Structure 1
Amino acid sequence: MVSRSCANFLDLSSWDLLDIPQTQRALPRVMTVPGIVSELEGDGGSSDVNSTTGSHERKIIVANMLPLQAKRDAETGQWCFTWDEDSLLIQLRDGFPSDTEFVYIGSLNADISASEQAVSQKLLSEFNCVPTFLPKEIQEKYYRGFCKHHLWPLFHYMLPMFPDHGDRFDRSLWQAYVSANKIFSDRVMEVINPEDDYVWIQDYHLMVLPTFLRKRFNRIKLGFFLHSPFPSSEIYRTLPVRDDILRGLLNCDLIGFHTFDYARHFLSCCSRMLGLDYESKRGHIGLDYFGRTVFIKILPIGIHIGRLESVLNLPSTAAKMKEIQEQFKGKKLILGIDDMDIFKGISLKLIAMEHLFETYWNMRGKVVLVQIVNPARASGKDVEEAKRETYVTAKRINERYGSPGYQPVILIDRLVPRYEKTAYYAMADCCLVNAVRDGMNLVPYKYIICRQGTPGIDKAMGISRDSPRTSMLVVSEFIGCSPSLSGAIRVNPWDVDAVAEAVNLALKMSEAEKRLRHEILFLTGQIKI
């Protein structure tokens, strides 16, 4: 039986919020499909964003946010844009041939007024970036509403059963989500050559975008990658618009997931809710959907080792490492680096450390947890409550087990530069990743590579290159990378006693076993994007 919300699905995008003046298009529309006339500006020259040749492929990467940092110049008042080198969308390029052309489509993490959008769009064309300016009324309901209050919690296994832990389904938020995806599709249409270009759509913010693109061009080449977990069918089926989102994804040619478990959950949803069967085809999992084969692939994301090693070799990194070495001299350093949200398990981590000091009294005064808190990707009462609980727990531990000149828990709640994080990775005796539910989580990989070091940092720190390397990882069994880290100690983050015991084991382990575990971890950690 077809869902009632599916009948008027495409009509949702035509609501009154879309009746807005269109920003002047700095990028010409270039099409090669019969019936579509190319609109060339000026004297007929084409923009770099629109130029395609048969000598190389072009990838159009569509994401909620462009991989750019926007900052207003203090003197001129003009917007300036630079690449965000930490963005996975930038690092994605290293997985393709060097002559592959990339075009990025997405929003900017800055509030650019309507009068400045035309100038900004022209500047962004130099980066091969196409901005998507969403009206504020859509942006709020689309991102903070449907994405962060419905999809994000649900995909992390949180059901909106109680008002204090999730919001009831609001169809106006779903309407805004569909409308935002329609706006993204319009931007794609402005620059695509549908016969040659490949479109890669990123993450849960744009799960119905494939529907709009496939409706316009049936032969378009579409791929989708989910950066978060995909929940089991028992959880996912509670979403009122579950069928619409599944059908949106099935309009792609390829759907990628971090792990086999996430892919298995998606396939189970397709089977139970849409009645679709799947089979293995030439080494891939394939679904037949309206005469097309939709391939499902496991694409575990990784780290860019070269970029990480280049940061390790910076003089500022070496200086910070020496500072950390002096600050925590004679103590064991445990490191945690997490976003401030309800699924990273920071509070559970702190409670586990409290149990460590209660149970293993000889650890008091000898162990320090440095918890770096990244800015929250979402806002709301749940995030504020998690932050408050984190600070209250840290204060309680420091008051009970601290002493003059010694704090067992150090919270770093600010924007931490890359070199400083890298220094902490390199100096930590143990890394504790305690998320209750997460996607891949690259923190363990970064820790392993930094503990291996480089010739440059070894020379700066006065370490022999032949000296043995050690690393200890305590990771939650509910994160995507956990199964691949055979040298790590896996824990259930909800079992705080077991986590405390695992940390104690990691710190007391013999040097020979630490070296062996590091060698195993280093082999599995060498994953490039």
Structure 2
Amino acid sequence: MASRSYANLLDLAGGGDFLDNIPHTPRTLPRVMTVPGIISDLDGDSDVSSSGCRERKIIVANMLPLQAKRDIETGKWCFSWDEDSILLQLKDGFSSDTEVIYVGSLKVEIDTGEQDAVAQKLLDDFNCVPTFLPHELQKKFYLGFCKQQLWPLFHYMLPICSDHGDRFDRALWQAYVSANKIFADKVMEVINPDDDFVWVHDYHLMVLPTFLRKRFNRVKLGFFLHSPFPSSEIYRTLPVRDEILKGLLNSDLIGFHTFDYARHFLSCCSRMLGLDYESKRGHIGLDYFGRTIFIKILPVGIHMGRLESVLNLPSTSSKLKEIQEEFKDKKVILGVDDMDIFKGINLKFLAVEQLLQQKPDLQGQVVLIQVVNPARGSGKDVQEAKKEAYSIAQRINDRYGSNDYQPVIIIDRHVPRFEKSAYYAVAECCIVNAVRDGMNLVPYKYIVCRQGTPKLDEAVGRRSDCPRTSMLVVSEFIGCSPSLSGAIRVNPWDIEAVADALHLALTIVEPEKKLRHEKHYRYVSSHDVAYWARSFMQDLERACKDHYTKSIQKNH
């Protein structure tokens, strides 16, 4: 049963004109199948058995796993799957007869007059249900509350002064709640509440479970947070801290990448809501309004097949040989990061500067290649971080470089997958120096690319029995760090320690590099995205199995 916080959220969601004129989903997907072959359009929390239904999973996220572009000649919208989206890749963890429905927004804005036709096309061709948030709501919801308030806070950045982030704005919070309500309404239009499993993703949709639980008390609902969850001392500064916690607690299973993130969440529930947790049959659970909410700790993995198929491309082997020739007799360190203030690019550059200063014998021998992914935001802080990064790189290159040698090379453009994979395959060491990051899959991708494939070996003339090595320097503040026991873990703020770690990674003996690589590759290849999705869904099914046998406590 949902708490009374629902009434407050509903009042907020109803404020303004945000919920007017949201198009309904075309009724191509049946709501309830009462008897095999007979479709009923029943609303509500039906007790009708629908065992004749094909198993369905409803995946809800801010963005649909689709690419969209207009055909220049016809002017019509064309859509295709985004093969790199985790939301698409996680289907590999489900049985082949599972029907997957996606609910989310498109990466492009669709004119109001085109929305009905586009919605029908997406439903028919992709089993996707678009939300079509109004422009102003999308701006306040995503660029406002999500990116200006939740994202910094969850990465331990408080708006202590006006130049250090944006302070809480209740209008942006209202937009966040309104957007979550629209997402929930779209789920309600297609769900069979007694049979379908709903899996909600990430911090954009943390109060959505409240709306679904209020409408369908027996909804089977999982939530996975892809970002960090901050310590209670940070989280408790959020004015709407209770509403978000209660929103998450209207799920049946809440997933986190690491034990630390889960521990922080449980601490917040204890300190702010007075809820204690206990271990139930080997699983962590909290009791909330007559239900047991379970906690899942499992980092997401990569899609092995997708990455290996890129490694097998002729363009990848060609680029790999080109990079090997360009950096012949050089020790290549690789960084691949988004340009934002939390990725630690500037600290990484300072560590390389320290390394070259401390170890003069490495001057002329070591090259840091920094691939900069396009920034997801364009705020003042991103521009300042970029300006500082270029300034530090220029200083290093002026001091330690020459006409034919640059110690720091910044690749600040769109880098296609084949080229990025080639850089991964060449690098002796990969460094991920983020000061805070939810997961970060760069180390996993690096390990797989260093392993290579038989086809890539053949293309570049490498023997199949040639030892594979890789070395990782990773920040202790990123989600993938606990799973990489052979990595050199560093505090990214300690410049000298990072410089020492880079030196160790470059000079450690080959047998040790081989052992560490083999250990990591075994983990990464067995704990892929399919394993993660399958494990989460198994735990969700277990969590939903008997949690309604308890008497429902009175709503407070």
TM-score (norm 1): 0.94
Of 36, 41, 49 in structure 2, the residue corresponding to residue 38 of structure 1 is 41
Q: Closer, same or farther in 2 for the Cα pair 1:219/1:31, shift >3 Å? A: same
Q: Closer, same or farther in 2 for the Cα pair 1:102/1:173, shift >3 Å? A: same
Residues matched between the structures, number? 515
Mapped to 2, the partners of 1:336 and 1:148 lie a distance apart of 24
Mapped to 2, the partners of 1:22 and 1:164 lie a distance apart of 37
* Match in the other structure for 1:73: 71
- Read off the aligned partner of 1:392 and give its amino acid letter: S
* Match in the other structure for 1:187: 186
Mapped to 2, the partners of 1:429 and 1:8 lie a distance apart of 55
* Match in the other structure for 1:480: 479
* Match in the other structure for 2:21: 21
Mapped to 1, the partners of 2:19 and 2:305 lie a distance apart of 47
| Percent of residue pairs bearing the same amino acid type | 71
Please state how far the C-alpha of 1:503 moved relative to its aligned partner. 0.7
CA contact (8 A) 1:33 1:195 kept: no
* Match in the other structure for 1:84: 82
- Read off the aligned partner of 1:384 and give its amino acid letter: Q
Please state how far the C-alpha of 1:414 moved relative to its aligned partner. 1.4
Please state how far the C-alpha of 1:20 moved relative to its aligned partner. 2.5
CA contact (8 A) 2:19 2:178 kept: no
Please state how far the C-alpha of 1:378 moved relative to its aligned partner. 2.6
Q: Closer, same or farther in 2 for the Cα pair 1:7/1:189, shift >3 Å? A: closer
Q: Report whether the alignment pairs 1:311 with 2:314.
A: no
Please state how far the C-alpha of 1:31 moved relative to its aligned partner. 3.6
* Match in the other structure for 1:416: 415
- Read off the aligned partner of 1:213 and give its amino acid letter: L
Mapped to 2, the partners of 1:455 and 1:25 lie a distance apart of 47
* Match in the other structure for 2:301: 302
1:484-517 per-residue CA deviation (whole Å, 9 max, x = no partner) reads: 2111111110011111111111111121221122
**Which range moved further: 86-95 or 503-512?**
503-512
- Read off the aligned partner of 1:443 and give its amino acid letter: V
* Match in the other structure for 2:546: none
CA contact (8 A) 1:103 1:129 kept: yes
Mapped to 2, the partners of 1:213 and 1:39 lie a distance apart of 16
CA contact (8 A) 2:19 2:182 kept: no
* Match in the other structure for 1:48: none
CA contact (8 A) 1:341 1:383 kept: yes
Mapped to 1, the partners of 2:317 and 2:438 lie a distance apart of 31
Mapped to 2, the partners of 1:55 and 1:11 lie a distance apart of 35
CA contact (8 A) 1:28 1:191 kept: no
* Match in the other structure for 2:229: 230
Using CA pairs under 8 Å that are at least 6 residues apart, name the structure with larger relative contact order, 1 or 2: 2
Describe the SS at the equivalent of 2:198: strand
* Match in the other structure for 2:553: none
1:2-34 per-residue CA deviation (whole Å, 9 max, x = no partner) reads: x99876222101112225323254235744499
CA contact (8 A) 1:224 1:256 kept: yes
Please state how far the C-alpha of 1:207 moved relative to its aligned partner. 0.2
- Kindly report which structure 2 residues correspond to 1:110-149, keeping only aligned pairs within 5 A, or say none: 110-125=108-123, 126-149=125-148
Please state how far the C-alpha of 1:171 moved relative to its aligned partner. 0.4
* Match in the other structure for 1:344: 343
After TM superposition, where is structure 1 displaced by more than 6 Å over at least 4 residues in a row? 3-7
Unaligned 5+ runs, structure 1:
41-51
- Read off the aligned partner of 1:124 and give its amino acid letter: L
Pairwise CA RMSD of aligned residues? Answer: 2.0
* Match in the other structure for 1:49: none
- Kindly report which structure 2 residues correspond to 1:389-404, keeping only aligned pairs within 5 A, or say none: 389-404=388-403
* Match in the other structure for 1:384: 383
Q: Closer, same or farther in 2 for the Cα pair 1:479/1:78, shift >3 Å? A: same
- Kindly report which structure 2 residues correspond to 1:319-468, keeping only aligned pairs within 5 A, or say none: 319-468=318-467
CA contact (8 A) 2:202 2:224 kept: yes
CA contact (8 A) 2:194 2:219 kept: yes
1:116-138 per-residue CA deviation (whole Å, 9 max, x = no partner) reads: 21222122111000001011111
Mapped to 2, the partners of 1:372 and 1:27 lie a distance apart of 45
CA contact (8 A) 1:62 1:105 kept: yes
CA contact (8 A) 1:28 1:190 kept: no
CA contact (8 A) 2:33 2:53 kept: no
Q: Closer, same or farther in 2 for the Cα pair 1:236/1:33, shift >3 Å? A: farther
* Match in the other structure for 2:550: none
Q: Closer, same or farther in 2 for the Cα pair 1:53/1:338, shift >3 Å? A: farther
Q: Closer, same or farther in 2 for the Cα pair 1:370/1:55, shift >3 Å? A: same
Q: Closer, same or farther in 2 for the Cα pair 1:27/1:392, shift >3 Å? A: farther
- Read off the aligned partner of 2:96 and give its amino acid letter: S
1:218-255 per-residue CA deviation (whole Å, 9 max, x = no partner) reads: 01111000001101111100000000000000001110
- Kindly report which structure 2 residues correspond to 1:184-333, keeping only aligned pairs within 5 A, or say none: 184-333=183-332
Of 100, 111, 116 in structure 1, the residue corresponding to residue 98 of structure 2 is 100
* Match in the other structure for 1:45: none
* Match in the other structure for 1:46: none
Mapped to 1, the partners of 2:6 and 2:240 lie a distance apart of 8
* Match in the other structure for 1:169: 168
1:322-362 per-residue CA deviation (whole Å, 9 max, x = no partner) reads: 01011101111110001111111011001111111111111
1:65-103 per-residue CA deviation (whole Å, 9 max, x = no partner) reads: 000111111221211111111100011111111111100
Please state how far the C-alpha of 1:262 moved relative to its aligned partner. 0.6
Please state how far the C-alpha of 1:180 moved relative to its aligned partner. 0.4
Describe the SS at the equivalent of 1:223: strand
TM-score (norm 2): 0.90
Please state how far the C-alpha of 1:56 moved relative to its aligned partner. 3.5
Unaligned 5+ runs, structure 2:
44-49, 530-556
**Which range moved further: 223-232 or 302-311?**
302-311
Please state how far the C-alpha of 1:206 moved relative to its aligned partner. 0.2
Mapped to 2, the partners of 1:116 and 1:402 lie a distance apart of 55
CA contact (8 A) 2:54 2:99 kept: yes
Mapped to 2, the partners of 1:502 and 1:520 lie a distance apart of 19
Please state how far the C-alpha of 1:363 moved relative to its aligned partner. 1.1
